[in-house]
Amino acid sequence: MHNDIKEVLISEEEIQQKILELGAKLGEDYKDRNPLVICVLKGAFVFMSDLVKRIEVPLEIDFMAVSSYGASTKSSGVVKIIKDLDVSVEGRDVLIVEDIIDSGLTLSYLMEILRGRSAKSVRVVTLFDKPTGRTVELEADYTGFIIPDAFIVGYGLDYAEHYRNLPYIGILKPEIYSN
Ligand code: PRP
Ligand code: MG
Ligand code: MN
């Protein structure tokens, strides 16, 4: 285990098992719809990569980079588009892939944008959901794990850009972010 991690909250095996289940469900729901699967960079890149391998129907992928946290542990409330999509979503069944929903600001902003571009449908799959963090009302269509109010890292989730490469979800030692 990484030295900055206090406790492993969700193991690599548990994550991979959940992704198998999510992928199977998504494969049923998106059969014959050629969905455009959108990865919300950077956090969702690890989940995206594992998830699409488990969705056994034709699909296309694209990437969008947004950021609201920067190096802080709290959302700034301002969502910035850093990289936009390469393709049009008009008339497409769009599936947004997120690593975590906390305040809900990132996703509510993204969904507003994509609906404004005349997507046929917009749904969200998130691997983690921290409902205690919500400031705007928002629920994912597909959720992996409900997470307690702790500062978690790993599996794509960062603190100041570190720990994204951990294959599990860990709780960061408080002394790491308190100074
Ligand atoms: C994190 C995370 C989600 C978002 C969730 O991204 O990856 O995208 O925050 O928080 P919210 O529901 O309060 O908006 P971040 O802005 O840190 O950028 P990153 O993905 O590049 O780490
Ligand atoms: Mg993110
Ligand atoms: Mn982040």
| Structural domain boundaries enclosing 66 | 12-152
Gap between the Cα atoms of 33 and 100, Å rounded: 25
Question: Is there a domain that residue 2 lies in?
Answer: no
Q: What is the C-alpha R_g of the chain?
A: 16
pLDDT for 93 equals: 98
Question: Is there a domain that residue 168 lies in?
Answer: no
164, pLDDT greater than 70: yes
Q: Is 141 a catalytic residue?
A: no
Mind listing the pLDDT tens digit for each residue in 39-75? 999 999 999 999 999 999 999 999 999 877 555 555 5
Backbone φ, ψ for residue 125 (5° rounding)? -115, 125
Whether 10 is in the pocket of ligand 1, judged by its Cβ within 6 Å, is: no
Closest by alpha carbon to 176, among 155, 153, 148, 147?
153
Looking up residue 86, the CATH number of its domain turns out to be 3.40.50.2020
**What's the CA-to-centroid distance between 91 and ligand 3, angstroms?**
30
Question: Is there a domain that residue 165 lies in?
Answer: no
Ligand 1, atom nearest to 133 Cα: 13
Question: Is there a domain that residue 146 lies in?
Answer: yes
pLDDT for 178 equals: 85
76, pLDDT greater than 70: no
Gap between the Cα atoms of 123 and 92, Å rounded: 11
80, pLDDT greater than 90: no
Over pLDDT 70: what percentage of the chain?
A: 94
Question: Is there a domain that residue 140 lies in?
Answer: yes
Question: Is there a domain that residue 96 lies in?
Answer: yes
Mind listing the pLDDT tens digit for each residue in 91-134? 999 999 999 999 999 999 999 899 999 999 999 999 999 999 99
Contacts of 13 (CB under 8 A, 6+ apart): none
Average pLDDT over residues 71-93: 82
Instruction: Select from 45, 46, 68, 172 the residue to mutate for testing ligand 1; criterion: most ligand atoms less than 8 Å from CB.
Output: 68
**What's the CA-to-centroid distance between 31 and ligand 2, angstroms?**
27
The domain total for the chain is: 1
Whether 105 is in the pocket of ligand 1, judged by its Cβ within 6 Å, is: yes
151, pLDDT greater than 70: yes
pLDDT for 20 equals: 98
Question: Is there a domain that residue 17 lies in?
Answer: yes
Ligand nearest to the CA of 68: 1
Residue 62 Cα distances to 17, 38, 83, 123, 150, angstroms: 24, 5, 11, 15, 30
pLDDT for 67 equals: 77
Whether 75 is in the pocket of ligand 1, judged by its Cβ within 6 Å, is: yes
Whether 153 is in the pocket of ligand 1, judged by its Cβ within 6 Å, is: no
Average pLDDT over residues 77-92: 91
